Structure 1
Amino acid sequence: MTGSRRWWLLVTVAVGLLLISIDMTVLYTALPTLTEDLHADPSQKLWMINAYPLVMAGLLLGAGTLGDRVGHKRMFLAGLVLFGIASTAAAFAPSPTALIGARAFLAVGAAAMMPATLSLIRTTFEDEHERNIAIGVWGTMSVVGTALGPILGGFLLEHFWWGSVFLINVPVVILALIAGAVLAPGDSGRSDKPWDFLASVQVMAGLVGLVYAVKEATRPGREPLTVVIALVVAAAGFTLFVRRQRRQTHPLIDFALLRDPRILSGMVAAALAMFATAGIQLVLTQRLQLVMDLTPLHAGLLVAAFAVGCLPSGIVAGSLVLRTGPRPLIVGGLVTGTAGALLTLLLTPGVVPFLGIHPDHPLWITPGLVVAGAGMGLAMTAASAAIMGNAPAHRAGMAASVEEVSYELGSLSGVAILGSVLGSLYTATVHLPSGSPGAATRSLDSARTAAAELSPRQADSLLNAAHSAFDNGYTLTLLITAAVLAAGSVFTARRLSLPTPAPTPAPAPAYEEKEPAT
């Protein structure tokens, strides 16, 4: 393949990954508008966000091996088609349930695309130096997309209706489809390579059960039996998945990889970095809009300060990791992220009264976000190096899938846990003035809707009480984020000080390897 064609292909697959990453966070600034227009309750709000990473995390491990079987070009193009159809369905969803279903369908397309993007880069760029540059661009797109999501969502909501945050994907998908069909090298796949669909179903059942249990356990008026049933489903799904993987000749994940402390620490660091990123961005964008009355665009631009810290630190970490090793960068990144989360809390206007910060100055939050982003950039880059640099050559594709799943699980758990804590603490601590509508106890969105129908004096009293309760949840979520990052720094510091195990020899292939077509 000619040099120019290789780089145009890189642009095409980078655009695909950018779409996947943007849709991870694009709803953060759109959530208040969605809640009002679709009349979503607090649980539905979280499922609108979580359906996407949940389904993607469940399918990613199997999608990589399916691409080996049917061909990565076919997977990439099929994923784009599904992504475009699901985006259209999401844009015109008439109800919260329909939108949740469309987001789940969107994740199917994303899961088909993501492993294919990296595989196409690996088969196209034969020169190691060029390949490293291409993979670096590929990895950067994930961070850029996550940062652009809230900004793009805010910009579109300034000028169009909420469905535009999904419909904008369609013309991009069409262009990427045309470019991918022309530029991507074709290969017929390996029909003799196994694909384990049942394992994907098992891990999906485990994830859904676990997330549902978290949401029910933190919901006011929870049903203990429902939580127990969800936990049983989760335990059964994960247990069956682990047993099946240990019996398979070609498992989706080889648990022997986890015996290497460098790989395990990289997975933990990757998951915690995304836990903090997703959690901080979610709760902060809600507070900026619902408490401080910023527009979605302004909220998205402020939260983008996280990327201002993340991108340069990630580049620096990439240049240092070969000299320092992953340990100081992972541990240092998680410690820096802890400091950033605490600083963001302290500098959030109106939350910590003794600082005397006037609530009309939301720019105060940016130093904390820059520090938190810098820490996460260090940790994520070093985590990738720890996972990919220490996996055996015959497990490189599996290691890439494990890394991607770690990111998705971190994002999923950040939204599920911190979003649930935010909502449940609001309901548990809100003390509304007498005569206030009972619906205002459900969420701050409901309180704002109720206040619009009251007199100015009653509305002010109601909103003051609602804001105070929301800030209780906001404070706790950032403290939890800081505590989780601090615990992660201790864990990774200890694990990375352990001796590494002897390398595992590659097993004899059960099928004939074929050179990929270029």
Structure 2
Amino acid sequence: MSPRSPWAALAALCMPMLIVSMDVSVLFFAVPFIASDLNPSATQQLWIFDIYGFVLAGLLLTMGSLADRVGHRRLLMIGAVGFSGASILAAFAPTASLLILARAVLAVSGATLMPSTLALIRHIFLDDADRAKAIAAWNAVLAGGVAVGPIVSGLLLEHFWWGSVFLINVPVMAVLLVVAPLLLPADTAVVDRRVDILSALLVLGAILPTIYAIKEFAAEGWSVERGVALVVGFTLGTVFVARQKRLSDPMIDLGLFDDRRFSVSIWTNVVCMFALLGNSIIVTQYLQSVLGYSPLKAALWSIAPSALVAVAAPLAAVASVRWGRPMVMIAGLLTGAAGFGVLAGLLGVHTLLVALIGSTLIATGIVSASSVIADHVIGVAPAERAGATSGLLETSSELGGAVGIAVLGSVLNLVYRMAFPADLAVGQAGTSLAGAAATARHLDNVQASNVLDAARRAFVEGASVAAWVGVGVLVSTALLVVWMTRTSDVADRQESAELRRLRS
């Protein structure tokens, strides 16, 4: 069955993408409310954020492969049902531990939705130009969802309790369940494709301990337990790669990585989401807890950079035609690095303008770079592996975003704890800015003011160090793109010369 209109089908596919990407950032402004209501520890607070992206990253490859086997529309609808149920569980979670569990279940369901949408675009849009436009729109919705999440969160928190940020998922998924059978094709399954359970377990076993180790290293420093977790993650990842080479029907076609441009595109996608999500967790807390804005006001200001971002994506597509995809990627990465530099050097000025300038540069640069990646990655993938390749691309996005939140958030918290005065470290005040705000509610006015002032200063110091880390990551990746591009150009010229020699 073909969709009545490919563009109507695209609209239907963008609905779950908007919701799934929103859930990455929808809790940013709810942190003080969750801290007050559920009283999570500093570690639990990070896991409330991190578990969603970590589980997504661990399951996207598996779910993409499963979608190729059972049908992309079918898995999309199954995921919509699961996402609705998990959203209700999260909304009414009575403890921090149950909220973390609900976020994990949300991620499992989200992992069924994301690769199915991009794979269906690959099947619906057969014309290269139309597919490029559709993927650009899909990518814009993905990035837009991350930006809109805090806005929706701020609006809801002005009038309702924090759990309401999850309930908005339910009606959107209900609409998807109604329109999907009418608009989306059902004949995209590859019946002879099987899902290798051992490969699925190896992916999950590789990603989760690796991210856990990275997060804990940044937050607490070295320990034998974290070192073992890192070794286990890398070892299982190595075993996974080795298994893919032996399988006749692998979960990932490793031959795609022989194309240097494909490889560098995947890595740049990781770094782009690292920067975008890592910056979001810094700036949203800065607006709300340092500048003292209400959730709604902070949310509205945080979306201001989106005005330029909306222009940046189509301009990047035009620029890539004229100057090539690598040049757009390099320019975008360096622009994002400049944005982090603004935040690192001037955030202590305590003005809204500095935060807006830095965030706008980061968002504009990152979206410009990432907007030219997805079409290339999906375009070179065989149609019968569209789900698995989509899962690979989205795994890199979710992994990058999760690592960005974990690493930059943990660096921020580590510097915060070092900078916070020991004589004011009462209750949870010395662990995080949200902990200081929760503690201050139970102190007299003078002591509360001293604690909050110290917390804001410590947060700004931590944010500055985290931003410098962002600068280093983006500049290093831009240099890697330059090196990989030059290497590819030399190889291409040598191959062309060899072909001309053979023909003569």
| Partner secondary structure for residue 454 of structure 1 | coil
One-letter amino acid matched to 2:414:
S
The 3 A distance-change label for structure 1 pair 262 and 125 is: closer
Equivalent position of 1:407 in the other structure? 397
Equivalent position of 2:105 in the other structure? 105
Equivalent position of 2:14 in the other structure? 14
Equivalent position of 1:491 in the other structure? 480
Q: Is the 8 A contact 2:16 2:176 kept in 1?
A: yes
Q: Is the 8 A contact 1:309 1:372 kept in 2?
A: no
Distance between the aligned counterparts of 2:128 and 2:377, measured in 1?
A: 18
Equivalent position of 2:263 in the other structure? 264
| Partner secondary structure for residue 497 of structure 1 | helix
Shift in Å at residue 2 of structure 1? 7.6
The 3 A distance-change label for structure 1 pair 138 and 219 is: closer
Shift in Å at residue 145 of structure 1? 0.8
The 3 A distance-change label for structure 1 pair 20 and 438 is: closer
Q: Is the 8 A contact 1:43 1:215 kept in 2?
A: no
**Are 1:447 and 2:436 counterparts?**
yes
Q: Is the 8 A contact 2:44 2:96 kept in 1?
A: yes
Q: How does 1:160-239 map to 2 (within 5 A)?
A: 160-187=160-187, 189-220=189-220, 224-239=223-238
Unaligned runs of 5+ in 2: 493-504
Q: Is the 8 A contact 1:332 1:375 kept in 2?
A: yes
Equivalent position of 1:355 in the other structure? none
Equivalent position of 2:408 in the other structure? 418
Shift in Å at residue 396 of structure 1? 5.6
Q: How does 1:234-245 map to 2 (within 5 A)?
A: 234-245=233-244
Unaligned runs of 5+ in 1: 353-358, 503-518
Q: How does 1:27-426 map to 2 (within 5 A)?
A: 27-187=27-187, 189-220=189-220, 224-348=223-347, 351-352=348-349, 359=350, 361-389=351-379, 398-426=388-416
Q: Is the 8 A contact 1:155 1:297 kept in 2?
A: yes
Note the aligned Cα RMSD (angstroms).
Answer: 2.2
Distance between the aligned counterparts of 1:183 and 1:381, measured in 2?
A: 26
Shift in Å at residue 413 of structure 1? 0.7
Equivalent position of 1:470 in the other structure? 459
The 3 A distance-change label for structure 1 pair 16 and 393 is: closer
| Partner secondary structure for residue 158 of structure 2 | helix
The worse-fitting range, judged by mean Cα deviation, of 339-348 and 11-20 is: 339-348
Higher helix share: 2
The 3 A distance-change label for structure 1 pair 329 and 477 is: same
| Partner secondary structure for residue 187 of structure 1 | coil
Distance between the aligned counterparts of 2:397 and 2:144, measured in 1?
A: 15
Alignment: residue pair count: 491
Equivalent position of 1:480 in the other structure? 469
Shift in Å at residue 129 of structure 1? 4.3
Distance between the aligned counterparts of 1:176 and 1:396, measured in 2?
A: 21
The worse-fitting range, judged by mean Cα deviation, of 449-458 and 94-103 is: 449-458
The 3 A distance-change label for structure 1 pair 316 and 254 is: same
Q: Is the 8 A contact 2:433 2:455 kept in 1?
A: yes
Distance between the aligned counterparts of 2:252 and 2:338, measured in 1?
A: 34
| Partner secondary structure for residue 166 of structure 2 | helix
| Partner secondary structure for residue 441 of structure 1 | coil
Shift in Å at residue 418 of structure 1? 0.8
Q: Is the 8 A contact 2:136 2:375 kept in 1?
A: no
The worse-fitting range, judged by mean Cα deviation, of 299-308 and 21-30 is: 299-308
One-letter amino acid matched to 1:123:
H
Q: Is the 8 A contact 1:345 1:475 kept in 2?
A: yes
Shift in Å at residue 148 of structure 1? 0.4
Shift in Å at residue 88 of structure 1? 0.7
Q: Is the 8 A contact 2:3 2:183 kept in 1?
A: no
Shift in Å at residue 92 of structure 1? 0.8
One-letter amino acid matched to 1:244:
R
The correspondence for 1:428, drawn from 418, 428, 432, is 418
Equivalent position of 1:505 in the other structure? none
Equivalent position of 1:510 in the other structure? none
The 3 A distance-change label for structure 1 pair 2 and 109 is: closer
Equivalent position of 2:25 in the other structure? 25
Q: Is the 8 A contact 2:28 2:284 kept in 1?
A: yes
The 3 A distance-change label for structure 1 pair 464 and 37 is: same
Distance between the aligned counterparts of 1:241 and 1:204, measured in 2?
A: 10
Q: What's the TM-score once normalised by structure 1's chain length?
A: 0.89
The 3 A distance-change label for structure 1 pair 81 and 465 is: same
Q: What's the TM-score once normalised by structure 2's chain length?
A: 0.91
Distance between the aligned counterparts of 2:153 and 2:313, measured in 1?
A: 25
The worse-fitting range, judged by mean Cα deviation, of 288-297 and 13-22 is: 288-297
Q: Is the 8 A contact 1:44 1:96 kept in 2?
A: yes
- How high is the sequence identity, in percent, across the aligned residues? 36
